[in-house]
Amino acid sequence: MTITNAKVRTAAIIGGGVAGPVTAMALRRAGIEATVFEAYAHGAEGVGSFLTVAVNGQRALRELDLLDLVQQHGFDCPRFEFVSGKGKPLGGFPAAPESLKDGLTSRTLRRTDLYTALRDEALHRGVPVEYGKRLVNAERTRDGVTAVFADGSRFTADILVGADGLLSRTRELIDPAAPKPRYVPLLNTGGFTRASVPGDPGTMVMYFGRDAFFCHMLDPQGVVWWFANIPQVRELTPAELAAITPEQWRKRLVDTFAVDETPAQAIVEATEQIAQPWNTYDFPSVPNWHNDRMVLVGDAAHAASPTSGQGASLAVEDALVLAKSLRDEPNATAAFSAYVGQRRDRVERIVAQAKKLSSDKMPGPIGRIIRDIALPIVFAKRAKSGGDDWVLTHEIRWAA
């Protein structure tokens, strides 16, 4: 089959979460008509806990005229503070590099608010979003690619973008030998409550407990937002996770944090509804991000563990770089190569860094001693530099 090398004009985007609508809006800016296809029969309103959009992600949103929209939700978290499980301060630093001087800092918001804001704005900008469209196959032709969905419907476009997350079907179609997500031996959970906590409003206070990691922050309305990472050596199946009752999970959390001299136990006890635990995964590397007609963005290409705080931000960066590449290169093949060339090294470094940070949350007795001695030195150096960091200072300009 001879593939034509015409300029890309249409795109099918698989996945209607965060990455999908942002990618669609970025492609529209590049003159490409994009349609979003969501596997589920409904939107994701009310689904998920909360996340943080780092300053690099916010700058990428700003390039797409989406930053003001996102900043209508949540609250700023301008500083990180770290404490040992014995209550000893380990240091802290600003959440945004002082060298940027643009007023941005980390922004924490509920996942459902981010999703709804981006999806609604995509609709407002004329992006069609179709539900109940689970991708099962993709047929490449001389002129494009046809997405085949489980309901029997089909859709043909010049390119297909896989924004379909960790369990990406698009990734499998691009490369049937693609690796599976790597299990990181931590369970995640979190919640919201009212309790007396140390730290200024917006400060993310993080505790390296003896057996688990805990973080809390206070929002402007006096509500405590918190999350925890609990070691879990064996990966639990979805059925095993669903079988954990709220009472069992609460008891495990309370017992885990009872040994620490931190507010974690009291916060857990004060929380009426605690999120059901979910597994942690990442991707060390995905060998093939694209073929001549299909390409991956977001978690489908490079999932970092939540420790990175970069999941949403990297997805927005992907969308911006992919759209720029399609705008500037003569055809899809050249654009996809340019996109991966600009993204792979950066995201794989972030995945590796997040994996190391996840490991720091669960060291043995000797490792805890070494960690608690070393971290104040690391944090002091970071604070002295004004929070400068290669991850956060990264910037992508649409006009460049």
Higher pLDDT, 361 or 203: 203
Residue 184 in tokens: 């990181």
- Predicted pLDDT of residue 362: 67
- Predicted pLDDT of residue 157: 97
Rounded distance between C-alpha atoms, residue 334 and residue 324, angstroms:
12
Rounded distance between C-alpha atoms, residue 136 and residue 147, angstroms:
8
Q: What is the pLDDT of residues 59-103, one digit of tens each?
A: 999 999 999 999 999 999 999 999 999 999 999 988 888 878 788
Rounded distance between C-alpha atoms, residue 50 and residue 68, angstroms:
19
- Predicted pLDDT of residue 374: 76
Residue 234 in tokens: 């064996």
Q: What is the pLDDT of residues 156-173, one digit of tens each?
A: 999 999 999 999 999 999
- Predicted pLDDT of residue 358: 67
DSSP code for 125: T
Residue 346 has pLDDT above 80, yes or no: yes
- The alpha-helical segments, DSSP class H, found in 48-168 are 55-63, 67-70, 111-124
- Predicted pLDDT of residue 6: 73
pLDDT bin (cut points 50, 70, 90) of residue 2 is very low
Helix H or strand E encompassing 174: helix 169-174
Phi-psi region of 233 (alpha: psi -120 to 50; beta: other; left: phi over 0): alpha
DSSP-derived secondary structure for 44-70: -TT-S-EEEE-HHHHHHHHHTT-HHHH
Q: What is the pLDDT of residues 184-213, one digit of tens each?
A: 999 999 999 999 898 889 999 999 999 999
**Angle (nearest 5°) at CA 81 between 276 and 355:** 55
Residue keyed to tokens 């010049």: 158
Q: State the average pLDDT for the chain.
A: 92
Rounded distance between C-alpha atoms, residue 366 and residue 103, angstroms:
41
pTM for the whole thing?
A: 0.93
